[in-house]
Structure 1
């Protein structure tokens, strides 16, 4: 009986130690998960800030485009928005000049660098819709 008692005590102590160890491992795991989540949130906030900065920049570019009232594509000299082809893509460049999608893409195929055909400024481009012109 005494041996059984000591054996039970020993098993109990071993189980307590194992549970304590598991509890510490779980606690460490949860701490690591909290850290990962917090880092993820901060990266997400940074990317949201970058996105809003980019949106603000493009808003300014579009505003400049509206102020200049450019109606025709400098490459083909046709109207940017024709009533008979409302689905034709139009792109605004970061320098605020606008082109038909096919015109600027063909220009890019033959150009060694992305420089606006009008002002020779390096650019990025964004598709714009008719509504931007109408504002």
Structure 2
């Protein structure tokens, strides 16, 4: 193509180097063949380098190095990769997870409540007397709910205050956890409670109750 352009520009057929006229031309492909060989060599070198780098990278991922610092980094990267894989495989819907926990806890509470109601032993009168004596030893003379004095058969009104018989007309209820309340106060607390199981306002334990006659 270059020679043809020169001949067209010169207007005659002469060699661009020696100016010899009437020469003959022959197309040879040695340059193209050498260029192809050079390109093929480069392509093969790039491909072999890619294969070797990939093999070495996989080797670094699977075989721990001998150096202690590099070995530490190697295992840190492994643990991080495992953690990321576990996190990506889990469903991270926190609201749904907590709702499942709440439903499981509610079902467990229902089962435990049914078992307690079915197999809970009744407290005998002797045990009630022991619980009542334990409550007296605590020396709590006021209802923890309304902060008003309690009144029961063992402690007459004169123990708490004088000339106040009209203030102790409410009945006192004794719980199996040895805590005492006004019956009306405890009943209001039970109605106000949102839970399915009735618990003591002080110790939060399930209870049986007994009304102390005045």
Instruction: Please tell me the TM-score bracket, short chain as reference.
Output: 0.5 to 0.7
Matches of 1:83 and 1:120, distance apart in 2? 32
Matches of 1:67 and 1:129, distance apart in 2? 19
Matches of 2:145 and 2:132, distance apart in 1? 20
* 1:12-45 CA distance string (max 9 Å, x none): xxxxxxxxxxxxxxxxxxxxxxxxxxxxxxxxxx
Give secondary structure in 1 for the equivalent of 2:165.
Answer: coil
Structure with the higher fraction of residues in helix conformation: 1
The answer to whether residue 202 in structure 2 is matched with residue 125 in structure 1 is no
TM-score of the superposed pair, with normalisation by structure 2: 0.35
* 1:75-122 CA distance string (max 9 Å, x none): 011111362144311101000110001100010112222110001111
1:53-68 matches, within 5 Å, as 54-68=124-138
Q: Quote the RMSD (CA, aligned, Å).
A: 2.0
Point out where structure 2 has 5 or more consecutive residues left out of the alignment. 1-120, 152-163
Matches of 1:72 and 1:64, distance apart in 2? 16
The answer to whether residue 165 in structure 2 is matched with residue 83 in structure 1 is yes
Point out where structure 1 has 5 or more consecutive residues left out of the alignment. 1-49, 131-135
Task: Count how many residue pairs are aligned between Structure 1 and Structure 2.
Answer: 80
Larger radius of gyration between Structure 1 and Structure 2: 2
1:1-135 matches, within 5 Å, as 54-81=124-151, 83-111=165-193, 112=195, 113-130=197-214
Q: Report which structure shows greater RCO (CA 8 Å, sep ≥6).
A: 1
